[in-house]
Amino acid sequence: MIDPLYSLSGFVVGMLVGMTGVGGGSLMTPLLILLFGVHPATAVGTDLLYAAATKTVGSMVHGYARSIDWRVVLRLATGSVPATVVTLALLSLFNLNGDAARSLITLVLSVALFSTALVLVFGASLVAAYRSRVKQVDPARTAAMTVAVGAVLGVLVSISSVGAGAIGVVILVMLYPQMPIARVVGSDIAHAVPLTLIAGIGHWMMGSVDWQIIASLLVGSLPGIALGSIFAHRVPERALQVVLAITLFVVASRIVADHASTASSIITSFTRRAVP
């Protein structure tokens, strides 16, 4: 069954993704947790497979436009795929419905959201400052750093479903200053397909995926992305980025506050049991 509330949320997030290019994970995962009360592990696993479907459509569009550098995609995947497999193996040791897994996911999610918000606000300045200081990039060092970036993204995305969007694009712009921005975005989206798919399958095998939510989200998000792409050039991009950054900062702060409250209650309960 299709839930209209999830479909409406998917449509809104899809619109924002289409207009700004910001990854849906930084918007959808917190929405599932805070608005719908979905368990963090289920929210991450569900969003990963949802992202795999939407990123596949985006990569097909970029592939048709030949705006993907497959050499960069391969380098990123060389780091991200093994890191994702190792991270999933470590996550499988946890009870994903337990307090330890909840704390880990919310902590990494909060860090990823804060980082995405900072990138949205200061990303352009960071790139400009980097390009003014670095005139020539060593190809071998660039290749090694790209693999390392892929590994970091693999860990972040596997735990929080956030990181393969705005963060990945800014880092790629720094590593490949001569590459056109459309090709950077296309390569980042193409790399996100295997990354989110492998991570999503891993969460599915651990039982942290809700297929009904995925179906409902896709019903709304696919037309939302298409419509958002149409209006992308009619809305001030910078204004939207600032609004999104503020939203992500508030959401991350709310998650941190909730996590701190939960951790405090757990510590208090443990102390009362330990002290007669």
Q: Check residue 35 and give its pLDDT.
A: 84
pTM above 0.85, yes or no: no
- CB-CB contact of 54 with 229 (8 Å): no
Q: Check residue 69 and give its pLDDT.
A: 93
Q: Give me the average pLDDT of each 10-residue run along the chain (276 residues).
A: 87 77 75 87 90 82 84 95 94 79 83 83 79 74 93 92 80 85 84 92 92 91 78 67 76 73 48 49
Question: How many CB atoms within 10 Å of residue 237?
Answer: 12
Domain membership of residue 116 as a residue range: 4-274
Q: Check residue 273 and give its pLDDT.
A: 47
What's the structural domain count of the chain? 1
